[in-house]
Structure 1
């Protein structure tokens, strides 16, 4: 009987030690996950919420800020070499009818380098007006966009309502 009691006590001690180690490992994994999310999330940049639409003219002269006055506008910024852009372009095309039903105009800017193929153009054309730029865009600089994909949503009052790198975070429940 003494042997059995000793074995149970040792086993209980081992189980408690295992639980303590498991809790420490889980805590460390959560801390590491939080650090990874911080490292991989693009920094918050761009125009402050509430800013007016900046003055701009598209590189092809097709559209300017004056053409968009009085209506809500969703700007999307994409580049041909961006690995996250195809998924966001597809999401924008998929939600284009839903966005149009809320009277939001969609304007996409696609930066295409000399060596890059324009694979996103056909998808982005489904969502609204598309402006293709073959050089670093002055429009991106005007909107203080530092990475693609990026979205900025202006309300009918011409003020920035939302911005982000993911369409769903910008549109929210719209």
Structure 2
């Protein structure tokens, strides 16, 4: 009988230890989930919603000058690079979304990051639906939007003072573009 009581006590202590360890693991998982969710909300665009777009003025592939001052209405802005697999996957959705943008291609700015030769295919796909800029990774448009990773898709609109600010730094290309 004493052996049975000792076994029951041992199993009880073992269950209590297991419970304590499980609670500790759950607490750590919650902490890690919070850390990961914070990292996922840090967008590839370093610019946050509500922040003003930096100054830039660059020629498009068609020779027109585009800059911060040309972002006068709600504008879709995208950054893509041909060496980036996620960029290649998101490009068709961006083109489809841009095609449906109210205001047409004047309300879409796309930046192809790379050399003119390497971005030719992207430029061909984007030109019918957007004003397209080709620049290097450290170019002025990327700097104005503080781009940290590619692809990046943002929505920009004028604030109360007419200055372009980011209204969405995580545009969902799976939903249709609609006028706001």
Both structures adopt the same fold (TM-score exceeding 0.5) = yes
2:13 corresponds to: 13
Deviates more, 1:130-139 or 1:69-78: 130-139
Shift of 1:111: 1.3
TM-score between both structures, scaled by the size of structure 1: 0.66
Q: Indicate how the Cα distance of structure 1 residues 69 and 121 shifts in structure 2: closer, same or farther if over 3 A, else same.
A: closer
Mapped to 1, the partners of 2:34 and 2:118 lie a distance apart of 34
2:50 corresponds to: 49
Q: Indicate how the Cα distance of structure 1 residues 115 and 47 shifts in structure 2: closer, same or farther if over 3 A, else same.
A: same
2:172 corresponds to: 168
Aligned CA-pair RMSD: 4.0
2:114 corresponds to: 112
Unaligned runs of at least 5 residues, structure 2: none
Mapped to 1, the partners of 2:118 and 2:22 lie a distance apart of 48
Q: Secondary structure at the match of 2:26?
A: helix
Q: Secondary structure at the match of 1:16?
A: helix
Q: Indicate how the Cα distance of structure 1 residues 114 and 122 shifts in structure 2: closer, same or farther if over 3 A, else same.
A: closer
Unaligned runs of at least 5 residues, structure 1: none
| CA displacement, residues 114-152 of structure 1 (integer Å, 9 cap, x when unaligned) | 7746554465457x2152515343322333334322233
2:76 corresponds to: 74
Q: Indicate how the Cα distance of structure 1 residues 101 and 26 shifts in structure 2: closer, same or farther if over 3 A, else same.
A: same
TM-score between both structures, scaled by the size of structure 2: 0.64
Query: In the comparison of the two structures, how many residue pairs are matched?
Result: 169
